[in-house]
Amino acid sequence: MAEKRDYYEVLGVSKTASDAEIKAAYKKMAIKYHPDRNPGNKEAEEKFKEAAEAYDVLRDPEKRQRYDQFGFAGMNGQGGFGGGASMSMDDIFSMFGDIFGGGSFGGGFGGFSGFGGFGGGGGKHVEKGADLRLKVRVNLKEVASGVTKKFKINKYVTCPHCQGSGSEDGKKETCSKCKGSGVTYRNVNTMFGHMQTQTQCDACGGTGSVIRNKCKHCAGTGIVKGEEIVEIKIPAGVQEGMVVNEKGKGNAARWNGVPGDIHVYIEEEPHPELLRDGQNLQYQLLLDVPTAILGGSAEVPTIDGKVKIKIEPGTQPGKTMRLRGKGLPVVQGYGYGTGDLIVQIGVYIPENLSREEKEAFEKLRTSENMKPGATAKSNFFNKFKKMFE
């Protein structure tokens, strides 16, 4: 099985390419490797499918963000076509009909009506509601367990008077121009042969029907401005900058079409004591000199509250301790296990001492146990050397 190529490489665009650049690049690739222009060419067919898979991911903000962060591992059950090559030509054509405006070639390329598939068989146009963007702030505790938040959002909602039909009396008439099909056709001759183009009917907006008696509350659109309480589910393990897509919770669509989505942009609230490092958490523990020398215990914060840890006698500054499973989970199974809490230990050296304290330390100054031996010096130098490797 051939190794997958980077989706940006497949389409020949940079990782910062705009939506328009990605669409244009895919259109160019699709025309170049279209089966009508390459009859019987298996290699061209595979490149055609490969380009379609890349476009399916990069055109979708959520899939693209996940691919940029996790690569192909983030696409399992989410993006592409689950392999691309397993998709039929009809599937690809029906998904990306907007690229070529539903045109179909005939005769000039061997009779394969590939671009006709892009139009999805001339189906009626269904309105899509506009998407919304929302910023949501979460703290580490919410990141650890996931959370559902409620928001009151101003958006377009279905007209309650006409129930979204746009008609005052609930009646619609079949469009006389397209005969209810929602599309009109035009035949032209091109350098590639005879071509039939299919376009959305301008008389009915592609719906196949017209409203004579428009609803007075929504002016025949089927939607009005309103408010709605929306629940946003934030999965465990999210990070700053991630985008969670809430399907169907955006603006209502005209004439009971498909509602838009809400793109939820994640912002993290900083924790007062813990620092995040991917799935792991970091904490700086500052010990007093007696505890570092004699040993004892210390409290460290976790997401769920404070825990006590044992301090061994002779604990050195710079030592790290790892509390397994006290970190953060991965996002929706993309990775393994739960992170750890890593405690980095420092030792506080007092700047001001009383006379009695100074006398006590003066007595210890001459003790051989208070002086670093050869092993301690070697270990210290090795740690220092690693900083420059």
CA-CA distance, 141 to 63, in Å (whole number)?
26
Q: Give the H/E segment covering residue 178.
A: none
Tens digit of pLDDT at every position of the chain (389 positions) = 456 788 999 999 998 889 989 998 998 888 888 876 777 788 888 898 899 999 999 999 988 988 887 777 667 544 444 444 445 555 565 555 455 444 333 333 333 333 333 333 445 778 899 999 999 999 999 999 999 999 999 999 999 999 999 999 989 999 999 998 888 888 777 655 667 777 888 888 888 899 999 999 999 999 999 999 999 999 999 999 898 889 999 999 999 999 999 999 999 999 999 999 999 999 999 999 999 999 999 999 999 999 999 999 999 999 999 999 999 998 865 556 799 999 999 999 999 999 999 999 899 888 888 888 777 777 777 777 777 77
| 8 A C-beta contact, residue 320 and residue 281 | no
Would you state the pLDDT for residue 112? 32
Would you state the pLDDT for residue 2? 57
Would you state the pLDDT for residue 369? 85
Would you state the pLDDT for residue 79? 46
The 3-class SS string of 108-123 reads CCCCCCHHHHHCCCCC
| 8 A C-beta contact, residue 226 and residue 95 | no
Residues with Cβ within 8 Å of 77's Cβ and at least 6 positions away in sequence, in order, are none
Q: How many CA atoms lie within 13 A of 301 on its CB side?
A: 13
Q: Give the H/E segment covering residue 345.
A: strand 341-348
Would you state the pLDDT for residue 104? 37
Instruction: Show the tokens assigned to 320.
Output: 């790290």
CA-CA distance, 360 to 185, in Å (whole number)?
99
pTM of the full structure = 0.61
Q: Which residue has the tokens 């309105």?
A: 127
CB atoms within 10 A of CB 372: 10
Q: Give the H/E segment covering residue 200.
A: strand 193-200
CB atoms within 10 A of CB 344: 14
Would you state the pLDDT for residue 191? 57
The 3-class SS string of 307-321 reads EEEEECCCCCCCCEE
- For the chain, which domains are there? 1-87 (1.10.287.110), 124-168+217-269 (2.60.260.20), 275-373 (2.60.260.20)
- Chain centroid to Cα 381, Å, comes to 45
Q: Is 227 exposed, middle or buried (0-12, 13-18, 19+ CB in 10 A)?
A: exposed
State phi, psi for 110 to the nearest 5 degrees.
85, 10
CA-CA distance, 186 to 52, in Å (whole number)?
27
State phi, psi for 16 to the nearest 5 degrees.
-100, 10
Would you state the pLDDT for residue 308? 97
AA letter at 155? K
CA-CA distance, 373 to 204, in Å (whole number)?
90
CA-CA distance, 26 to 4, in Å (whole number)?
17
| 8 A C-beta contact, residue 89 and residue 97 | no
| 8 A C-beta contact, residue 94 and residue 173 | no
Of the candidates 17, 7, 143, the one whose C-alpha atom is nearest the C-alpha of residue 75 is 7
Would you state the pLDDT for residue 68? 82
Would you state the pLDDT for residue 336? 65
